[in-house]
């Protein structure tokens, strides 16, 4: 049966390193025994703090609280001294600060999608209510733009390797197990998928993964470079100015015909920040404006009071 869908894990696959790496980093930072945090995090199997967080039964901040209490109990029972500065939240802060997107795999997902494959992110994830929740939201939003489907375990009250989450993903994608490929960095998560009939790839080395994925999909993924978008030629677009008050003009560019799309930039940019997008919508009239507070000084100096403070116009 022809393969029609590819499912990618997030941590350790599309974004890395995975959680295990940061657990080890935290243990080394606080001089804890090897696997100390892992034993606490996964203690209780299906009722462990990790399992409850992955199923959305507790939030990330609640996970940190439960794990820290478990660490205190485990340290007391095993004769380990926890530093006064000990904090589980360090794991997730470091993950946000040092984790990176696996660009070759993200690009491969795009190539597969353009070749007719359905693509999906299938991840064990938590509900992030921490101070770093903006990072998590930004990451997930980016994934939604690049994949047909993003499935987070915490939204479903089920987690990998529960076969039910694979059944749910396949049903949502409308493919049979034999038509799907699953990539994960944890062998335990691949086993039930493989037993269902899915092709599986254990992620370790990116080049090896791309080679195997290329063989299973029949789509060339190695040696490809994503083409850079083409910037518009400033001389090929219509330039104009609008006076908004004496001595102050807004510079704008316009291209195309049809319903208007207005492209606005932030400080300290100009219309040039939209040079790759302004010409991509031929069925619309696209306008990009350079606001007067930035690099094109159409505004005269603002008046100041005798004390030197700016006066409002």
Assign 311 a pLDDT band (cuts: 50, 70, 90).
very low
- Regarding whether 142 and 74 lie in a shared domain, the answer is no
User: 229 pLDDT exceeds 80?
Assistant: no
Assign 296 a pLDDT band (cuts: 50, 70, 90).
very low
The domain of 165 spans: 5-14+100-217
Question: What 3 state SS string does the chain have?
Answer: CCCCEEEECCECCCEECCHHHHHHHHHHHCCCCCCHHHHHHCCCHHHCHHHHHHCCCCCHHHHHHHHHHHHHHHHHHHCCCCCCCCCCHHHHHHHHHHCEECHHHHHHHHHHHHCCCEEEEEECCCCCCCCCHHHHHHHHHHHHHHCCEEEEHHHCCCCCCCHHHHHHHHHHHCCCHHHEEEEECCHHHHHHHHHHCCEEEECCCHHHHHHHHHHHHCCCCCCCCCCCCCCCCHHHCEEEEEEEECCEEEEEEEECCCCEEEECCCCCCCHHHHCCCCCCCCCCEEEEEECCCCCCCCCCCCCECCCCCECCC
* pLDDT confidence of residue 272: 73
Task: For residues 255-262, give the mean pLDDT.
Answer: 80
State the CATH number of the domain containing residue 170.
3.40.50.1000
* pLDDT confidence of residue 214: 96
* pLDDT confidence of residue 313: 42
Mean per-residue pLDDT of the chain = 87
Q: Alpha-carbon distance 311 to 313, whole Å?
A: 6
pTM of the model: 0.73
- Regarding whether 207 and 117 lie in a shared domain, the answer is yes
Q: Which two three-digit tokens encode residue 75? A: 């340290």
User: 302 pLDDT exceeds 50?
Assistant: no
Q: What pLDDT digit, counting tens, does each position of 178-199 carry?
A: 999 999 999 999 999 999 999 9
- Asked if the structure places residue 109 within a domain, the reply is yes
- Regarding whether 125 and 61 lie in a shared domain, the answer is no
Counted domains in the chain: 3
Sign of CA dihedral 100, 157, 160, 24: positive
Conformation bin of residue 195: beta by default, left when phi > 0, alpha when psi is -120 to 50: alpha
* pLDDT confidence of residue 267: 61
* pLDDT confidence of residue 261: 82
Assign 258 a pLDDT band (cuts: 50, 70, 90).
confident
* pLDDT confidence of residue 226: 59
- Asked if the structure places residue 222 within a domain, the reply is no
Cα-based distances in Å from 126 to 58, 122, 196? 8, 13, 26
Q: What pLDDT digit, counting tens, does each position of 86-101 carry?
A: 999 999 999 999 999 9
Task: For residues 102-131, give the mean pLDDT.
Answer: 96
- Regarding whether 202 and 65 lie in a shared domain, the answer is no
Question: What 3 state SS string does 5-62 have?
Answer: EEEECCECCCEECCHHHHHHHHHHHCCCCCCHHHHHHCCCHHHCHHHHHHCCCCCHHH
Q: Comparing C-alpha atoms, which of 184, 211, 186 is closest to residue 200? A: 184
- Asked if the structure places residue 224 within a domain, the reply is no
Rounded to 5 degrees, φ, ψ at 125 are: -140, 165
* pLDDT confidence of residue 249: 78
* pLDDT confidence of residue 284: 74
Q: Which two three-digit tokens encode residue 30? A: 């606080």
* pLDDT confidence of residue 175: 98
- Regarding whether 159 and 304 lie in a shared domain, the answer is no
Among 96, 127, 152, identify where a domain stops: 96
- Regarding whether 135 and 10 lie in a shared domain, the answer is yes
- Regarding whether 152 and 60 lie in a shared domain, the answer is no
Among 96, 123, 152, identify where a domain stops: 96
> Which stretch of 26-30, 70-74, 167-171, 253-257 has the lowest confidence by average pLDDT?
253-257
User: 278 pLDDT exceeds 80?
Assistant: no
User: 37 pLDDT exceeds 70?
Assistant: yes
């Amino acid at each position: 049966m022809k393969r029609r869908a590819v499912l990618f894990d997030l941590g350790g696959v599309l974004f890395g390193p995975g959680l295990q790496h940061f657990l080890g980093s935290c243990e080394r930072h606080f001089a804890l025994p090897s696997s100390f945090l892992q034993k606490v995090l996964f203690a209780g199997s299906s009722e462990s703090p990790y399992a409850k967080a992955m199923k959305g039964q507790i939030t990330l901040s609640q996970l940190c609280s439960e794990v820290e209490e478990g660490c205190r109990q485990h340290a007391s029972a095993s004769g380990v001294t926890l530093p006064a500065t000990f904090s589980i939240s360090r794991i997730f802060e470091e993950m946000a600060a040092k984790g990176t997107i696996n660009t070759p795999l993200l690009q491969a997902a795009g190539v597969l999608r353009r070749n007719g494959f359905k693509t999906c992110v299938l991840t064990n994830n938590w509900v992030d209510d921490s101070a770093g929740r903006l990072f998590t939201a930004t990451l997930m939003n980016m994934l939604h733009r690049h994949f047909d489907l993003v499935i987070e375990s915490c939204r479903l009250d089920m987690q990998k390797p529960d076969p039910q989450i694979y059944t749910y993903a396949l049903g949502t994608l409308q493919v049979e197990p034999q038509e799907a490929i699953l990539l994960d960095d944890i062998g335990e998560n691949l086993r039930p998928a493989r037993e269902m009939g899915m092709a599986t790839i254990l992620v370790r080395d990116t080049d090896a993964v791309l080679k195997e994925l290329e063989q299973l999909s029949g789509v060339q993924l190695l040696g490809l470079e994503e083409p850079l978008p083409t910037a518009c030629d400033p001389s090929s677009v219509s330039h104009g100015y609008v006076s908004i008050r004496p001595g102050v003009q807004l510079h704008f560019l316009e291209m195309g015909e049809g319903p208007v799309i207005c492209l606005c930039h932030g400080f300290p940019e100009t219309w040039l920040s939209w040079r790759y997008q302004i010409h991509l919508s031929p069925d619309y009239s696209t306008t990009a404006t350079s606001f007067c507070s930035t690099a094109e000084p159409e505004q005269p100096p603002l008046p100041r009071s005798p004390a030197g403070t700016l006066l409002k116009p």
